DNA sequence: CACTTGACCTGTCCGC
DNA sequence: TGCGGACAGGTCAAGT
């Protein structure tokens, strides 16, 4: 999925598109057997309630309902939340770069139907994602919410906070640490690689092997890159789309992710890709001083 | 304990 | 064209 900028883009789009709409019906397209996650069913706390607002914490979307319940949605790798309204159904104003043409499709798991006949589709090709219904006051008590690290774009996320979080994992590999949601919320494979390139950090180093001045640069880079990507509507590599079914444009500006073999934008050496911390990892061997 | 690996699924792409 | 294997943006549980 979707990392922080993608989830935030979906959140902002959804909040605008579905806020105050009333849910008329919840339709499940997948049998519980093939999708054993905890699903929103035609529960009385969903049907006939209205959308109050759409929130985000880390990579989790929280759709607050007037019933005082919240639909929590995790998109994982391939989840999509796509709104289909009057305009997209009948062509006028249909986004030109929409990747979504006809819904429901093969990957549709859940449809929320609103009383004005607009719909919100939850699609998920790989079925890793989930939706669950939680009483709104209990959202903050979810294990996930208690464990997850700070929001990197919050004002309260200072350089000192970042250093504190990293200090918990001094001997660990920096890439694994950046991907660890309990250290810091929201980074995934794309933005971890992009941030380390910006700070000229070798992803193979342990946290305590990185000079302080590069940690400072990493802190700034993470915030700048995430903010920039939100402006660009996130990254679409394969599946990701926003709430209107449109692609994100961040990868047009990416420095390393999905650029294997292309020249580094700083030094011109070709970008390399290798497996590290269990993930495809993109670096400039020269700028980041990486030995394969 | 802390870190690494495999599993969850489906689709796509690459090499033979 | 067909088939097997590797890989894909995330997160757990299980194993070392």
pLDDT tens-digit profile of A28-58?
A: 887 655 555 556 666 788 999 999 999 999 9
Percentage of residues of chain A with pLDDT beyond 90? 82
Average pLDDT of the segment spanning A56-76: 95
Considering only residues A101 and A222, tell me which one the structure prediction assigns the higher pLDDT. A222
Nucleotide nearest to A35 (CA to C1'): B9
Which pLDDT value is given to residue A33? 56
Task: Report, as an integer, the average pLDDT of A113-121.
Answer: 96
Is A3 one of the catalytic residues? yes
**Residue numbers in A 170-199, CB below 7 Å of strand B:** 171-173, 176
Protein CA at A210 to nucleotide C1' at B10, angstroms: 39
Task: Say if residue A269's pLDDT is above 80.
Answer: yes
Q: Tell me, what's the pLDDT at A167? A: 93
Residue A141 has pLDDT above 80, yes or no: yes
Whether the model clears a pTM of 0.85, i.e. scores above it, the answer is: yes
Residues A85-98: tens digit of each pLDDT: 977 766 544 454 56
Lowest mean pLDDT among A39-53, A204-218, A259-273: A39-53
pLDDT for residue A102: 86
Contacts of residue A220, defined as CB under 8 A and 6 or more positions apart, other chains included, come to none
Residues A88 and A131 sit within 8 Å (Cβ to Cβ): no
Mean pLDDT of A221-229: 98
Question: Looking at residue A166, what is its pLDDT?
Answer: 95
Least confident of A39-43, A133-137, A144-148: A39-43
pLDDT at A44: 82
**Any strand C atom closer than 7 Å to A279 CB:** yes
pLDDT of residue A98: 62
DSSP code of residue A86: H
Lowest mean pLDDT among A40-44, A261-265, A269-273: A40-44
The answer to whether residue A285 scores a pLDDT higher than 90 is yes
What's the whole-number mean pLDDT along residues A119-144? 92
Residue corresponding to tokens 């880390």: A58
Alpha-carbon distance of A283 to A244, in angstroms, equals 33
pLDDT at site A101: 67
Residue A21 CA to nucleotide C13 C1', Å? 39
Instruction: Based on the residue annotation, tell me whether A279 is a catalytic residue of this protein.
Output: yes
Asked if pLDDT for residue A70 goes beyond 60, the answer is yes
Nucleotide nearest to A237 (CA to C1'): C9
- Is residue A138 scored above 70 in pLDDT? yes
Q: What is the dihedral of CA A98, A102, A107, A111, to 10 degrees?
A: 100
Whether pLDDT at A216 is above 60: yes
| A223 contacts A152 by C-beta, under 8 angstroms | yes
Give the residue-averaged pLDDT of A214-224.
97
Q: What H or E segment, with its residue span, contains residue A212?
A: helix A212-231
DSSP string, A96-162: TTBS--SSS-TTEEEEEEETTS-EEEEEETT---EEEEEEGGGGGGSHHHHH----TTSTT--HHHH
Task: Tell me the C-alpha distance between A189 and A176, whole Å.
Answer: 10
Contact in structure between A30 and A4 (CB atoms under 8 Å): no
Report the distance from CA of residue A246 to the C1' of nucleotide C5 in Å, as an integer: 32
Res A94: pLDDT? 46
In this prediction, residues A266-284 reach a mean pLDDT of 94
- For strand B, which nucleotides have at least one atom less than 7 Å from a protein CB? 2-6, 8-11
């Amino acid at each position: 999925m979707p990392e922080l900028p993608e989830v935030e883009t979906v959140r902002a789009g959804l909040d605008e598109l579905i806020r105050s709409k009333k849910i008329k019906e919840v339709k499940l397209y997948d049998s519980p057997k093939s999708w054993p996650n905890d699903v929103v069913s035609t529960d009385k706390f969903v049907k006939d309630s209205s959308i109050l607002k759409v929130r985000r914490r880390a990579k989790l979307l929280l759709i607050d309902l007037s019933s005082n319940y919240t639909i929590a949605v995790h998109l994982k790798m391939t989840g999509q939340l796509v709104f289909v309204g009057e305009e997209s159904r009948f062509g006028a104003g249909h986004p030109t770069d929409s990747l979504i043409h006809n819904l429901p499709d093969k990957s549709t798991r859940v449809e929320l139907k609103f009383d004005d006949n607009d719909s919100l589709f939850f699609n998920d090709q790989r079925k890793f994602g989930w939706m669950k219904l939680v009483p709104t006051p209990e959202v903050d008590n979810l294990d996930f919410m208690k464990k997850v690290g700070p929001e990197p774009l919050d004002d309260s996320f200072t350089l000192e906070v970042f250093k504190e979080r990293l200090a918990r994992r001094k001997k660990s590999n920096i890439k694994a640490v950046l991907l660890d949601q309990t250290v810091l919320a929201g980074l995934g494979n794309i933005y971890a690689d992009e941030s380390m390139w910006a700070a000229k950090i070798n992803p193979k180093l342990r946290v305590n092997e990185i000079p302080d001045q590069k940690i400072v640069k990493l802190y700034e880079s993470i915030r700048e890159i995430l903010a920039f990507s939100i402006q660009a509507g996130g990254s679409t590599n394969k599946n990701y789309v926003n709430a209107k079914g449109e692609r994100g444009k961040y990868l047009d500006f990416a420095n390393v992710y999905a650029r294997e073999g292309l020249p580094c934008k700083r030094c011109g050496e070709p970008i390399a890709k290798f497996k590290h911390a269990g993930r495809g990892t993109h670096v400039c061997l020269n700028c980041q001083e990486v030995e394969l």
